[in-house]
Structure 1
């Protein structure tokens, strides 16, 4: 019996009513090339793929998140910001936090309020840049743009 490909495995995980994201994350960095390809697919699949990338503490994950942050669909960009927040909390990722800031910075001024909201949350966990987050009185009007 033929083993399913990485793509088939990820598609079956993402297609479930309750996706088993832990199972997808357990595939580790070996899944990242396929996850990177999925970033350019339909928005819900891309959003699921970037979420998984954010759970894998590797530099390659950051590249996937950056790609998702540039997608046209706001769902994908918002999930990219959320994934960046998750990714940045892994101690293994500490050396790449400046690169993470470069990804999140443009999202702070995104046209979509949900993207801006998740970008501010991501910025808050970046130690060198967390103080750049405006206080809540200044943030609230900006989010309602």
Structure 2
């Protein structure tokens, strides 16, 4: 039994890479990405936040172009669940990375970054802005 847990621990500290076409058919992808998460209390926050990250990457980053891909990386550590999502777009400019709700309650856009920030303990953007790393403390 001891060897099995040691093997799992070494596997858990490696990045798992996923490359997928840029589509809004996200349910199967989310299921695979969240498969190692066993904490029911945090699963819904992870699911909501990660779905929002993926939707933003497909819609805004890749402009709904199914010919483009998303690259997702996941690592599970004893203290964190970490996901990186990268699209093939130009990137989100620094000045557009604010996390406030839109002024209009019925606005069609503007809630995504707020939801992402609310669901994760740490959100970091690449300099270019086409990759975001989100993490939730376990």
| TM value normalised by structure 1 | 0.26
Higher normalized helix content (fraction of residues): 1
Higher normalized strand content (fraction of residues): 2
Which structure has more relative contact order (CA 8 Å, sep 6+)? It is: 2
